[in-house]
Amino acid sequence: MSTASGTRTFKVSVEGNIASGKSTFLDYFNLSPDVEVRTEPVEKWRNLHGHNMLALLYKDPTRWALSLQTYVQLTMLQMHTKPHERPITIMERSIFSARHCFVENLYHSGKMPTPEYIVLDEWYQWLVANTDVHVDLIVYLRTRPEVCLARMYERDRKEENKVPLAYLNGLHELHENWLVRQVTVKPPAPVLVLDANSNMSDMEHVMEEYREKIMGRS
């Protein structure tokens, strides 16, 4: 994918569980003029023409999982395909984690009926085959679910205030299967695994190292 000015864009997706530290990690890259950071469009999911799709999901997942995940898939596709202005684009999550982590988790935890799961997968398979959603590198912020649970409650996003550890455990295992064990589907790009359990502010040196790794690969 080339930028408007014609140079090739290096595309990175930062993956990880809920409250694994992605926003903090992305903040470190927001400083560089060569990097465009594209954060997860969670505000769109919280206000779709006045409807809070995220709140609806957590209130009644079986009723609303398809609606939210269909809209997530659209907003992630928009994030992948928006014209790239800078040599490096770093995205918060991707159409891939939408499908292989969040949709999979809802389905395998019995919150999404099989026909709805198949409809989402048909859309996903067509989009991946017919649009340019490629990424060149995945950075996986690897955490223990208990660490995410504590950070999630500390962040205190109102829709998430009843999300149980079991939900984070499910998402964790799916990230591990996808990005580390690679037993289910192969990741779409090489994976850099970063241990994100310690407090992000203690990780300045690690962030610096990763910034060099990512800038070096671009």
Ligand X SMILES: Cc1cc2cn([C@H]3C[C@H](O)[C@@H](CO)O3)c(=O)nc2[nH]1
Residue 89, H or E segment:
strand 88-92
Name the minimum Å distance from CB 171 to ligand X: 8
Name the minimum Å distance from CB 34 to ligand X: 25
**Alpha-helix residue ranges (DSSP H) falling in the chain:** 22-29, 42-46, 53-59, 61-81, 95-97, 104-108, 114-130, 145-155, 165-176, 204-217
The active-site residue out of 15, 36, 40, 92 is 92
Output the residue with the shortest Cβ distance to ligand X: 98
Residue with Cβ nearer ligand X (35 or 148): 148
Residue with Cβ nearer ligand X (77 or 194): 77
Residue 123 CB partners (closer than 8 Å, separation 6+): 70, 73
Name the minimum Å distance from CB 216 to ligand X: 27
Residue with Cβ nearer ligand X (26 or 76): 76
Assign residue 110 a region: left if phi > 0, alpha if psi is -120 to 50, beta otherwise?
A: left
Q: Which pair of structure tokens corresponds to residue 110?
A: 């019995």
116 is catalytic: no
| Residue ranges that bind ligand X, judged by CB under 6 A | 18, 40, 42, 54, 57, 72, 76, 93, 97-98, 102, 160
Residues acting as catalytic residues: 92
